[in-house]
Structure 1
Amino acid sequence: MDLPVMPPVAPMLAKSVSALPRGDYLYEPKWDGFRSIIFRDGDDVEIGSRNEKPMTRYFPELVDALRQNLPERCVLDGEIVMVAPDGKRLDFELLQQRIHPAASRVKLLAEETPVRFVAFDLLALGDVDYRDRPFSERREALVEALKTAQAPVSVTAATDDADLAQDWFGRFEGAGLDGVVAKPLAGPYAPNKRTMAKLKHERTADCVLAGYRVHKSGPDLIGSLLLGLYNDDGVLVNVGAASSFSMDRRRELFEELQPLVAVEDGHPWAEGEQENGTRTPRNSEGSRWSGKKDFSFVPLRPERVVEVRYDHMEGERFRHVAQFSRWRQDRTPESCTYEQLEEPVKFDLAEVLGS
């Protein structure tokens, strides 16, 4: 492989904002998948990840599609996404299952659950390095380079209309998208720098505190709080975790929660079920994403209610780790049900993908 931009390359990043910036920006849907830098030099294709490690072996069907749809020599930035079986939304959990160590399993999954690639930036084309050129020029060249591309490869939708982008923010969530990204039209491609802005959905939910994981730094520090909601059958479902505490707060929480430690039998989450609601594949899948992560937890009597901030749900669980807001002494655990959650507007993913 001999390209003007060679792997590995760290992708350009975005910082979170509370409102979309206005002015000389191009706005795009924020795709919910695996961020990827694609390198193609003839038949040689490499798929780089956000952590700059190659993911090529996990997506053989995409490698074939990239050879068919990309220019002979190019470097693109984009997102690998998985469309749910109903074709209506993205499915990140199903996408995670594609990262598997067994070649036979990779081949089977490639046939059963093929992925798509959505391109949104151009780093190189032919012998030309585009990274120092303004985004407006890179975008124009990207659209031209992929004008004949067909599914599963496409160019992301984009607009310079901030009002339309705000409308997208509300409507596209129903298709499983994360929010909206604003990119400065005059900006160069800046690897590993947060020069873009992202507006993501954030909501609050009152959850039952049902356990915690200890921090990697010591057994007297809280790593994360495990959260539950009651379903229609009265079962406490693990919906995920809340984290991001200072070290002092982790120590305070440990002391504060010791009286709730469940020493008797009958905790609603039996051993082996505590992983429900996490965003990491189970150890039994042998995923390289989980490594040697310890999923054991300390069960707590489900008596305390905590308010958390979250972006959106994926099935019965939080898509990302939630953020602790406050304790809710005024709420009973039994009142923490799925009924409190806001239902995103339904939206057909095909319209976002343009197919």
Structure 2
Amino acid sequence: MLRRRAVNCLRGSRAPRFLLLFAVGFSLVLFFKPEMIQKLGTGMELGSATQQPREVNVYSIFPKTKIHTLLLQTVIVSLAKKWFWKNLSDIRERRNQLVKETCAKYKRSISKEITPVSVPHMFVEDKHKLLYCNVAKAGSSNWKRTLIALTGEDRNLKHEEVHGGRYLRTLNSFNHGEIMHRLKTYTKVLFVREPFERMLSAFRDKFNNPEAFYHRQYGIPIISKYRDNPSQEALKTGHGVMFKEFVKFMIDENRPVPGGVDNHWDLFHDLCSPCLIDYDFIGKFENMEEESNFVLRMVDAPPNIKVPSFKDRNPSDKRTSLSITETYFSKVSWKDRQRLYDFYYLDYLMFNYSKPFNDLF
């Protein structure tokens, strides 16, 4: 009866065929076990870091009963998959539109000319015609490992080998005509991450672990300028930079390091030029598994290739999370948090991340 009603409601309309199947399949579910629908959840809004999607494991919502047939299982799985991909396609369009609106409002004076200087962080995978903009601390190591796998090379590479430049070329290594050809014909992808969380992840990676270059290049000047009565040992080695000192460095317009903004904590819109380059997909680190699979499907990647999820640097450290971020920032003054938010404001706005703390404006 329920199935007949669903068919009659949709018959003669212009609704896509999969909507008809959706109505039929879910009518059966409602008839046999209405409470199952509760388990599907609603976590599909990808617009903010706090509302994360999950790929529904539809097989798990059915109890082991006589109705748990292969036919019903296949229909519901197929419908859920179509619903997920359709929803993600819609979100992709909304994200791109928000970037365009933000650029139109805040970046009107930006140059419209693309040169090699515009694309130093764009990695090229020619076989599947994929361009990936490298944003450090937003899954970049595993994305590079995936690009290397798409070329047919070994995926089991050490961190240093992945970043060594042997296996992948950057777009700025091509001439202007080759750059423009790839920008016009390849799938262009960018992944971002909650800005405060990403910046903290960079701090923990570079200053809480043995990193001679960062301790020497950044640690010594930071300690020298922002610490009262630093020890001679700290001034000599650059070890032991405190997070509140690093924040002061970030918000200082006269940073004691030439350049000052390393690509591990630089702004997304400076690294990847989204106001200049029309990306086909802007993904979020918070939903990496689902969204990376979507991208790989877009470029017809082999089904056995996935973006790995392991932490290849300092694997014994906990991944920087919301709770860890809150703990670190609790030791930072409100004034400095506000100034840091001002620094990252366009990234928050352009990529639809919520304010990290309610007392910010």
What TM-score do the two structures reach when normalised by structure 1? 0.24
- Structure possessing the higher radius of gyration over alpha carbons: 2
Larger strand proportion, structure 1 or 2? Answer: 1
Larger helix proportion, structure 1 or 2? Answer: 2
What TM-score do the two structures reach when normalised by structure 2? 0.24
